[in-house]
Structure 1
Amino acid sequence: MIKKWWQKEVIYQIYPKSFYDSNGDGVGDIKGITAKLDYLKNLGITMLWICPIYKSPMDDNGYDISDYFSLNPEFGTIKDLEALIEEGKKRDIKIILDLVINHTSDEHPWFVDAINSEDSQYKDYYIFKEGKENQPPTNWRSIFGGSAWEKLENKDEYYLHVFGKKQPDLNWENEKVRNDIYDMVNYWLDKGISGFRVDAITFIKKDQRYQSIDPDGVDELAKVTKTTRNQDGIDKFLLELKEKTFDKYDCITVGEAPGVPYDQLEDFIGKNGYFSMIFDFKYADLDVESGNEWFKRTNWDVKEFRDLMFNSQLAIQKVGWGANFLENHDQPRSISKYLKEEDVNYYSTTMLGGLYFFLRGTPFIYQGQEIGMTNFKRSSIEEFNDLSSIDQYYRSMEEGFTEKEAMEFVNLRSRDNGRTPMHWDESDNAGFTTGKPWLKTIENYKEINVKSQENKEGSILEFYKKLIDTRQNGKYSDCLIYGDIKPIEVNSDTIVAYERFYEKQKVLCLFNFSTKVQSVELKEENYELLLNNYDGNTINDFVNLRPFEALLIGK
């Protein structure tokens, strides 16, 4: 295989609003990230993905950009970012930014001009359609709730927004739009960043033939993704984006690419694919029904999770490289999602960490994951910030659920779960800020925080350091980074077992997803212990895996 520099990275995702506040205004900032670089270096991180810091009215926390070339003042200045890049280089930590190019904010100068000037040159930068008798062109529902069309004032004309109403979709059919986007991408790469995580990229191509259908002609509101996601012809846009930007730099690109079937993966991450790697959400979203109805829970089991994960790994392995994750800014906390509340402890949390970390691909750690941060328990919808959560709360009640049930749904799956302030210590507001935090902290921060775990043997944080060191610097590093993966069949539906193999090395990765001791027969001998979340294990012709044990053995 041809090795790429980005395959060896360990990437840490930062939600800047909630990472660390350097000036006491209650909002995290770029200087706060710089202040914690030594912590991240000590953890073993080699790259940071920073969620949007561009100028924005923050209706969707920065994913609604009003100026691609400026930073939002609450985060700092361009000089602050340049200093972060420079200080990162001193510690061998690279920086990638979020790239949001499916839509802008409705406060972006392009859109403001488009709706206020009859002969605006930016009218065709967005997707406008005539309504019919004060009804929108279709009855599509946006992903964040309500109609996907917003009516212009004093006109029977609407603009398309697949996400929030303050996030009008760009018209990628317009070459001028595309070239302006490419200029912006190259501007940031010239600044010295190492690449991008590319947001919602499979939505940039719309089937605009269907945007003049009478509302009665669409059966379900949720059909919006059928005509706005991963459409025929998107390859033209993605190839052009790559050729005019990414190919000019030896950069990393991580696509958020929902809706891509496995038989199209080669186009996205193959030898000549659009991106270095993509996130696959098929196993991350196993706990909810498809179609963004995430308040409708599914009763998944470990076998289903294991099968979905292995299907993803094997499909990606055939053609390219994956981006492995347990958590991100759009997901609840993994230990609250994958474990029963009564089962959450050091062993189960570290087992989960090891299970995904040694999959084939580049591992991503989301801020707070390395100390075992959990979901919150809110009692009022007024305590939520996330647009999607608020929509889900009211929609679930419209569909007949009680207020109590609706609150339980959003507590379980709200995107705000991963956006609460980082727990640095046991002081007020978890050491995140000296002011009032923009989002309420979780009550358990006095027990779960960096200070209480740092340099403490037997802590979740120290185990994450071992995970990283084993992958990056251990005897079997090449095998764990570049090796292929093969699922191992076991006589249990609650054990996840796989093998990584490379040249003459192999590593057997075993994870007990249950509260019972379980035996696994070894078909070979002379394995050596590489990593264990218990204090060692006896390896003969079989191993006994204790409750929630994570075990790596190599030969």
Structure 2
Amino acid sequence: MDKHWWQEAVVYQVYPRSFQDSNGDGIGDLDGIRQRLDYIKQLGMDVIWLNPIYRSPNDDNGYDISNYEAIQPDFGTMADFDALLKEAHAKGLKIVMDLVVNHTSDEHHWFMESRRSKDNPYRDYYIWQDPVDGHAPNDWQSSFSGSAWQFDETTGQYFLHLFSKKQPDLNWRNSKVRHSVYDMMTWWLDKGIDGFRMDVISLISKPKDFVTTPVRRPANGPHVHEYLEEMNKDVLSKFDIMTVGETPGVHPQDALLYAGLDSHELNMIFQFEHMGVDTDPELGKWRPHQFKLTTLKTIMSKWQTELNGRAWNSLYWNNHDQPRVVSRFGNDSDEFRERSAKMLGAVLHFQQGTPYIYQGEEIGMTNAMNFNSIEDYQDIESLNAYRDLVEQHQTLTNDQMIKALHHSSRDNARTPMQWDDSVNAGFAKEGVDPWLQLNANYTSVNVKNALADKESVFYFYQKMNTLRKQYPIITYGDYTLLDPDDEQTWTYTRKLDGQTLTLTANFSQDSLTRDYAAAPANSTLLLSNYDDDQGQTLRPYEVKVYLTK
């Protein structure tokens, strides 16, 4: 297998709006990120993935782009971006940008022209359909509640929006659309960025006949691989970059097409199977339930074994769209938060693939403890779901929905970064109102405290990043699950060149006895979240990693 720099990298995801405010407006910005580069480097990172920083009306926090080649004024200027890129590169950090090209903002020049008339040159940049019997062309639903079709009075047709009605979907069948996108991508790559994370890229290909297509969401459409091969040929193959596609609705066989080591599309994808283990089949994230560890292990292990030697995994627990993992799959109580955060980090980072750390994960940030009313939330998905499920259809009561938001809202990941215990947690200066209120536990859970404590989650993550550079088995070793039916522990091995790495983890707050937990013969304890080894005993949320030569 050819080896590439992005396989050995560790990625730090920055949500710019919530990372660091440098100018006193309560919104994180590019200069704020630049001020914190040394911190990211200290953690042992190689790549920074930036959520969208392009000009946007902010209907969906920057995922509705009105100009792909301009910086959102909230975040600074293009000169600020150039300064960030230059300084990051000087420190050995690469920058990967978010690419959002399934849709634009309805305030993008292309769409403003498109909706003017049926014969406008930009009409075919978007997906327009006549009404059917006075209604939308089909019953597709938006990911943000309601119909995916919006009637437009000007021309008497509907346009498609798989997300907000202010996010009309681009028509990728139109080669002018595709090549406009490729030109924009090349513009950024010529500027010196190091790759793209591609938003919902599995959705860009739509069926030709919407009226006879009843599927609710067009993932992996008929031409998606043709488009990505063209993108690779025209743009990606000309640069030594990292690409990762966000691909809802995929399975391992799809990944071999999108990111196969011998395919010519992307380097890797984000899959979401493991993100559904605690959600309801009908109401999804808004009726969360206790996950089964056996289900989580089965899904993750399937991706490990089926992609091994054929495609490359991305490894993540958290991102800007997911609740905090320590509150979700761990235990965010004062007693067990740090222990379970370390355990979860190790279980993920010792698998095969490129790991992604979402800002604050490395200090064990939790879901928002103090958001007790719908007024506390700002996320469009959360607000629309509340309107739909509580106010309009009474599917859930207010209390049930608030409980679901506590567990599942995207705002859990978006509360400002907790730098210290001062007013506004060091995210913004005193006297400024942050754009989203802080998590109430910032006075104890913060970077300042983490850096002062050699046993903190931060230094555990730093150690994992160091070990990855020292031991190729962590990056490239074959994966085997050892305890598929155990509901409390996760044990797996990695093997490479005569070495074996064994990880065993306790996902419960009980002390357990397991044969797997004992040190294998001739092994070294590489990493643990306890300071001694009690053999076959696994204490609450204990994780142990052994290396056998």
How high is the TM-score relative to the length of structure 2? 0.95
Tell whether the 8 Å contact from 1:97 to 1:193 is kept in structure 2 after alignment.
yes
For residue 396 of structure 2, what is the aligned residue in structure 1? 401
Q: Secondary structure at the match of 1:319?
A: coil
Deviations 1:1-51 (A, max 9, x none): 211111110100000000001101111011111100001111111110000
Shift in Å, 1:135: 2.1
1:90-129 to 2 correspondences below 5 Å: 90-129=90-129
Distance 1:490 1:187, change over 3 A: closer
Q: Secondary structure at the match of 1:451?
A: helix
Q: Distance in 1 between matches of 2:152 and 2:107?
A: 14
Deviations 1:111-158 (A, max 9, x none): 001112453110000001111454222222211111111111254311
Tell whether the 8 Å contact from 1:335 to 1:344 is kept in structure 2 after alignment.
no
The reply on whether 1:502 has 2:496 as its aligned counterpart is yes
Q: Distance in 2 between matches of 1:459 and 1:447?
A: 12
The reply on whether 1:411 has 2:427 as its aligned counterpart is no
The reply on whether 1:271 has 2:261 as its aligned counterpart is yes
Q: Secondary structure at the match of 1:88?
A: helix
1:500 corresponds to which letter in structure 2? R
Tell whether the 8 Å contact from 1:182 to 1:245 is kept in structure 2 after alignment.
yes
Shift in Å, 1:291: 6.5
Shift in Å, 1:236: 1.1
Tell whether the 8 Å contact from 2:115 to 2:155 is kept in structure 1 after alignment.
no
Q: Distance in 1 between matches of 2:102 and 2:523?
A: 49
Deviations 1:297-340 (A, max 9, x none): 23321122111111121122252111101100010000111135
1:46-125 to 2 correspondences below 5 Å: 46-125=46-125
Stretch deviating more after TM superposition (46-55 or 85-94): 85-94
Q: Secondary structure at the match of 2:244?
A: strand
The reply on whether 1:551 has 2:544 as its aligned counterpart is yes
For residue 245 of structure 2, what is the aligned residue in structure 1? 255
Stretch deviating more after TM superposition (169-178 or 398-407): 398-407
For residue 238 of structure 1, what is the aligned residue in structure 2? 228
For residue 444 of structure 2, what is the aligned residue in structure 1? 447
Tell whether the 8 Å contact from 2:298 to 2:484 is kept in structure 1 after alignment.
no
2:357 corresponds to which letter in structure 1? I
Q: Distance in 1 between matches of 2:282 and 2:208?
A: 21
How high is the TM-score relative to the length of structure 1? 0.94
Q: Secondary structure at the match of 1:65?
A: coil
For residue 347 of structure 1, what is the aligned residue in structure 2? 339
Stretch deviating more after TM superposition (404-413 or 6-15): 404-413
1:253 corresponds to which letter in structure 2? T
For residue 153 of structure 1, what is the aligned residue in structure 2? 153
Shift in Å, 1:546: 1.7
Stretch deviating more after TM superposition (103-112 or 289-298): 289-298
Shift in Å, 1:292: 6.9
1:531-542 to 2 correspondences below 5 Å: 531-537=527-533
Distance 1:231 1:491, change over 3 A: closer
Shift in Å, 1:341: 5.0
For residue 289 of structure 2, what is the aligned residue in structure 1? 298
Q: Distance in 2 between matches of 1:118 and 1:305?
A: 49
Distance 1:492 1:143, change over 3 A: closer
Q: Secondary structure at the match of 1:283?
A: helix
Q: Distance in 1 between matches of 2:127 and 2:484?
A: 53
Distance 1:318 1:399, change over 3 A: farther
User: How many residues of Structure 1 are paired with residues of Structure 2 in the alignment?
Assistant: 539
Shift in Å, 1:423: 0.2
The reply on whether 1:465 has 2:462 as its aligned counterpart is yes
For residue 45 of structure 1, what is the aligned residue in structure 2? 45
Distance 1:291 1:100, change over 3 A: farther
Tell whether the 8 Å contact from 1:490 to 1:520 is kept in structure 2 after alignment.
no
Q: Distance in 1 between matches of 2:250 and 2:366?
A: 30
Q: Distance in 2 between matches of 1:254 and 1:483?
A: 21
Q: Distance in 2 between matches of 1:142 and 1:16?
A: 26
Shift in Å, 1:265: 2.2
For residue 524 of structure 2, what is the aligned residue in structure 1? 528
Tell whether the 8 Å contact from 1:280 to 1:312 is kept in structure 2 after alignment.
no
The reply on whether 1:367 has 2:359 as its aligned counterpart is yes
1:445 corresponds to which letter in structure 2? Y
Q: Secondary structure at the match of 2:504?
A: strand
Deviations 1:333-381 (A, max 9, x none): 0011113555742211211111111110011000000111111142221
1:238 corresponds to which letter in structure 2? L
The reply on whether 1:327 has 2:321 as its aligned counterpart is no
Tell whether the 8 Å contact from 2:130 to 2:156 is kept in structure 1 after alignment.
yes
2:175 corresponds to which letter in structure 1? E
Tell whether the 8 Å contact from 2:261 to 2:312 is kept in structure 1 after alignment.
no
Shift in Å, 1:208: 2.7
1:15-26 to 2 correspondences below 5 Å: 15-26=15-26
1:414 corresponds to which letter in structure 2? S
1:525 corresponds to which letter in structure 2? A
Gaps of 5+ in 1: none
Q: Distance in 1 between matches of 2:484 and 2:115?
A: 61
2:211 corresponds to which letter in structure 1? S
Tell whether the 8 Å contact from 1:350 to 1:463 is kept in structure 2 after alignment.
yes
Q: Distance in 1 between matches of 2:285 and 2:417?
A: 25
Tell whether the 8 Å contact from 2:9 to 2:47 is kept in structure 1 after alignment.
yes
Tell whether the 8 Å contact from 1:393 to 1:409 is kept in structure 2 after alignment.
no
1:242 corresponds to which letter in structure 2? N
Q: Distance in 2 between matches of 1:293 and 1:495?
A: 26
Q: Secondary structure at the match of 1:481?
A: helix
Distance 1:290 1:80, change over 3 A: farther
User: Which one of 280, 287, 303 corresponds to residue 312 of structure 1?
Assistant: 303
Tell whether the 8 Å contact from 1:392 to 1:410 is kept in structure 2 after alignment.
no
Shift in Å, 1:264: 2.5
For residue 167 of structure 1, what is the aligned residue in structure 2? 167
For residue 428 of structure 1, what is the aligned residue in structure 2? 423
Tell whether the 8 Å contact from 2:117 to 2:155 is kept in structure 1 after alignment.
no
2:537 corresponds to which letter in structure 1? N
Q: Distance in 2 between matches of 1:300 and 1:457?
A: 32
Q: Distance in 2 between matches of 1:309 and 1:118?
A: 48
User: Which one of 371, 380, 394 corresponds to residue 378 of structure 1?
Assistant: 371
Deviations 1:237-292 (A, max 9, x none): 11111111111111110110111222222111112331111112111221113477
Determine what percentage of the aligned residue pairs are the same residue: 40
